[in-house]
Structure 1
């Protein structure tokens, strides 16, 4: 499981104010790219 503890990072999490405008899209992009980079490295090293 991959989590960024959203409930600690965004006070709007699961509230009526939890909208696209309250998300940190740059952070989401960076995390996604980091996970992608890890998977490429891991799978490449393990011959998948």
Structure 2
């Protein structure tokens, strides 16, 4: 049986660095200055492909 994370688009488990990038992203106004009121899922695409 394949692990569930193998079916995500990245094909790997997330790392602490992946979560850190997602947490810091909204405070980087050069990358997220026009984004408002969103929920950011940090699951490697699992909710979409699972």
TM-score, normalization by structure 2: 0.30
Please identify which structure carries the higher helix content.
Answer: 1
Q: Which has the higher contact order (CA 8 A, sep 6+)?
A: 2
